[in-house]
Structure 1
Amino acid sequence: MRDFAVSDDPRVQAQLDRLGALSVPQGRIGLDVVRVLLDRLGNPQRNMPPVFHVAGTNGKGSTCAFLRAALEAAGKTVHVFTSPHLVRFNERIRVSGKLIADETLAELLNEVLDVAVAAGIGASFFEVSTAAAFLAFSRYPADACVIEVGLGGRFDATNVIEAPVVCGIASLGIDHEAFLLSPEDNVPTDAMARIAFEKAGIAKSGAALVTLDYTPAMNQAIQGQAAIVGAPVIRRGQDWAIVASPEGLTYSDAQGSLPLPTPRMPGLHQGVNAGLAIAMLRQQQAIDIPQGAYAQAMEQASWPARLQRLGDGPLTALLPSGTTCWLDGGHNPDAGNAIATHFRRPTRVHLILGMLANKVPQALLDPLRERLASVTVVPVPGHDCHGLDAFLQVPEIPVPVAAASVRAALSTLEIDPAQDEVVLIGGSLYLAGTVLRDNDEIPE
């Protein structure tokens, strides 16, 4: 499936049209193509500011947000590369703290696409996007780069980075099975250990690999990958800890203890993501971070469409006054569990659900089952997605109904103002992007 992107700027749209036309030969895997492309561009990945590289199934984007917030609170300027975008392609590339300007984006994409076409190497959407970001980061000054892995780790296009100052792995779960669990010799046979093996492929010599604590088989797979390149593994519960309380967070490691406020981003899992970011920052020597910057990061970090409470806008105006509406792009069981934990009170949830056809329909329904007041299935505009039939066989949930759009679903919800009822729109980051656009909350 191709990633889709549109722009109001005709110069950018012309390049996005070229980008969207790219295809990947079926079954191609590896870093050879992106390396050739970057070599033709002068290997910009070797001329970027210090790199913080983050992998994971869920939470890696939020971890990047905490990294950026802490670095900026320390007075540093930061380049950021993340994916996917929600509304505008520009969201993927932040140059010196700001979303890349349309003119700069158009020029960079044109330059990279011209080189890719001339080379005839069959570069993909993500490979070209990565090359454009690295080219920008090599040309504009900043103190640090925060780079999120797109898919997996070992064969992700961002893994051409040769000397990051630190790497991190966030929460792990089953996702993108066709790519990450494809048959291969000399890899773990256990599915979760294989996922961990793939993510740990970002490990580099001399850079700490900071992780959460997983199952013994997953920890062993990560340790094995790190040992191959000589990267020390810094594991939660063994080398660092993060504890939440009503008063806030307490982070601790061999360097001491840090009291921190509760993160601005909702969800208990955000405390873990914040802890991972802090551990990464304290395991590198390239940039000094004063202790006060960590507390500021908790209050400043934000990441749209991850348990985001929607504000007043055209969509939320369709709901009864005072009704809370949440948005989350999570689409796998690990994300579903995190969302359900957030709604652990006796809250009743009206779920508006749109999921791509290659995702598991029960991913959000199973964890939320006991809290569901209603389920409304909507399409994900521009993408192949599950229809109503895919959800009708899920046991022990309210009978799902279909709506033509999120707007139509919101208009027909029967919300009891006497109950603790909220609305959750979820199942896809692509759906989340349309919701943010239609509610006039475009990410900045």
Structure 2
Amino acid sequence: MERLLGVLGHPERQLPVVLVAGTNGKSTTARVLARLLEGSGLRVGLYTSPHLHLPHERIVIGDTTITDAELASVLGPAVEHEREGSKPASWFELMTAAAVRWFADQGVDVAVVETGLGGSGDATAALGARVVAVTSVGIDHVEYFGATRWDNAVAEAGAIPVGAAVVLGEPDAAMHPPFAAVGPSSLLITGHDFGVVADSPVAAGRSVSLFTPAATYDEVFLSLLAPWQTASACVALAAAETWLGAAVDDRVVRDVFAATHAPGRFELVHTPGPLVVDGAHNAAAAAALSCGLRERFARSASTVVVGMTGERDPKTFLSALGVRPATRVICTSPRTTRAVPIGALAAAVRAVGVRTVEIEADVGAAVRHAAHHLDGAVGVVTGSLYVAGEALPVARSLAS
């Protein structure tokens, strides 16, 4: 990554960065954080991953997405250089370098950057972030980080530059030592330095009260539905204050929280019945999704469309989601070479005791099939953000 940045003239040296790391909740945290900084008068670049529909979605300034011409312009020198190299950069490294170069060219005041896999080997670790927000510590990418939460905590801490200010959203104190060990200039910990005082579901969102080192924010409407999204917004608020060195104006917080949208993250679409599209892709996220469904609908999903990627264990994921023998599960496959084979996924569903297991390889067709069976009951599409990205246009068309 350092070689690639050098080819592009080391744009990271011109660009102040806030890094958003952690196992789950990164994109929502990054989106809220960018809007809070914009509302505080800064010009902000936002880099998130993965995209739901087009790669350009990853690279935005305010409401402006990088264009085809701009992306080609910043990528051109890097692609040409990589063609001549013996060890070409990864696609994620190229996109990250392109984002940083474009943000620097556009003169943003700060870039909010979401990590990829995370860890010291992540492309974003080379950007020299001054503030790092860590959303949570769970088990994911076991083929790279290991099979325990401690392994993942050590890996996530590895992406933090020495001397950066750290905002830690993981509540489990047993996971904190790796983050303290990197030598942060400051360390804010959820539940101690910032946190959630009150959080309850309301129509179309949540009513939340939060505290930070600089202020309290009472009875703020957050236009996100799931309980874990309150924690994401709170981490974003603490990180914004850390960057600004002051409290975020109360009106800015209320305006940003009320306008926040997180596509593909507990996104509710009203088809013939309520259909929740959520990119949960590991056991911790599946358990959180299950809790969100029970809170919002007082029941679990009757129909689940699931497709997964990578080395994740479908049985662990499905058990955490809380599928029951009577749940209808439709197995599907996102359009990626990393998709879990659909036959193996169906076998895992049967192994956890589900009686009605169906296979529909095309995600859109699976969504249509699920919506047909809802009849007022709750349905879920989950397992991967790639699945969520393919499902959303179809689900939204059924609602129109």
Q: Does 1:63 align with 2:18?
A: no
Q: Deviations over 1:249-275 (max 9, x none)?
A: 121133231114232122000000011
Question: Any residues of structure 2 matched to 1:75-114 within 5 Å, and which?
Answer: 75-114=41-80
- Of residues 382, 385, 388 in structure 2, which corresponds to 1:432? 388
Change beyond 3 A, Cα 1:287–1:161: farther
Q: Which amino acid aligns with 2:40?
A: A
Which residue pairs with 2:234 in the alignment? Answer: 275
Q: Does 1:241 align with 2:208?
A: no
Q: Does 1:198 align with 2:155?
A: yes
Which residue pairs with 1:217 in the alignment? Answer: 174
Change beyond 3 A, Cα 1:379–1:77: same
Which residue pairs with 1:17 in the alignment? Answer: none
SS across alignment from 2:196: strand
User: Which TM-score applies when normalising by structure 1?
Assistant: 0.80
Cα distance between partner residues in 2 of 1:439 and 1:373: 20
Q: Decide whether the 8 Å contact of 1:96 with 1:140 is kept in 2.
A: no
SS across alignment from 1:262: strand
Which residue pairs with 1:185 in the alignment? Answer: none
SS across alignment from 1:425: strand
Q: How far did 1:328 drift?
A: 1.0
Q: Which amino acid aligns with 1:427?
A: G
- Of residues 288, 306, 322 in structure 2, which corresponds to 1:369? 322
Change beyond 3 A, Cα 1:392–1:339: closer
Which residue pairs with 1:397 in the alignment? Answer: 354
Question: Any residues of structure 2 matched to 1:91-240 within 5 Å, and which?
Answer: 91-162=57-128, 164-181=129-146, 191-225=148-182, 227=183, 230-240=184-194
Change beyond 3 A, Cα 1:253–1:297: same
Change beyond 3 A, Cα 1:35–1:286: farther
Which residue pairs with 2:257 in the alignment? Answer: 298
Q: Which amino acid aligns with 1:237?
A: G
Cα distance between partner residues in 1 of 2:100 and 2:142: 28
Change beyond 3 A, Cα 1:218–1:290: same
Change beyond 3 A, Cα 1:106–1:310: farther
Change beyond 3 A, Cα 1:287–1:132: farther
Cα distance between partner residues in 2 of 1:208 and 1:338: 28
Question: Any residues of structure 2 matched to 1:375-390 within 5 Å, and which?
Answer: 375-383=329-337, 384-388=339-343, 389-390=346-347
Q: Does 1:326 align with 2:258?
A: no
Q: Decide whether the 8 Å contact of 1:267 with 1:307 is kept in 2.
A: yes
Q: Which amino acid aligns with 2:373?
A: I
Q: Does 1:309 align with 2:263?
A: no
Once the two structures are overlaid, the 10-residue window that deviates more, 256-265 or 272-281, is: 256-265
Cα distance between partner residues in 2 of 1:124 and 1:392: 33
Cα distance between partner residues in 1 of 2:125 and 2:364: 40
Cα distance between partner residues in 2 of 1:416 and 1:215: 38
Which residue pairs with 1:15 in the alignment? Answer: none
Cα distance between partner residues in 1 of 2:209 and 2:160: 27
Q: How far did 1:381 drift?
A: 2.3
Question: Any residues of structure 2 matched to 1:18-57 within 5 Å, and which?
Answer: 34-48=1-15, 50-57=16-23
Q: Deviations over 1:155-175 (max 9, x none)?
A: 21111122x331110122111
Q: How far did 1:348 drift?
A: 3.8
Which residue pairs with 1:259 in the alignment? Answer: 218
Cα distance between partner residues in 2 of 1:51 and 1:288: 19
State percent identity of aligned pairs: 28
Change beyond 3 A, Cα 1:374–1:73: same
Change beyond 3 A, Cα 1:206–1:392: closer
Unpaired runs of 5+ residues, structure 2, are 201-205
Quote the RMSD (CA, aligned, Å): 2.4
Cα distance between partner residues in 1 of 2:192 and 2:364: 47
SS across alignment from 2:211: strand
Q: Decide whether the 8 Å contact of 2:167 with 2:235 is kept in 1.
A: yes
Q: Which amino acid aligns with 1:52?
A: V
Unpaired runs of 5+ residues, structure 1, are 1-33, 182-189
Q: How far did 1:410 drift?
A: 4.0
Cα distance between partner residues in 2 of 1:132 and 1:390: 41
Q: How far did 1:54 drift?
A: 0.6
Cα distance between partner residues in 1 of 2:119 and 2:274: 37
SS across alignment from 2:98: helix
Number of matched pairs? 384
Q: Decide whether the 8 Å contact of 1:309 with 1:327 is kept in 2.
A: yes
Q: Decide whether the 8 Å contact of 1:307 with 1:339 is kept in 2.
A: yes
Q: Decide whether the 8 Å contact of 2:209 with 2:219 is kept in 1.
A: yes
Q: How far did 1:286 drift?
A: 6.3
Cα distance between partner residues in 2 of 1:231 and 1:362: 41
Change beyond 3 A, Cα 1:52–1:260: farther
Q: Decide whether the 8 Å contact of 1:391 with 1:400 is kept in 2.
A: no
Cα distance between partner residues in 1 of 2:226 and 2:316: 18
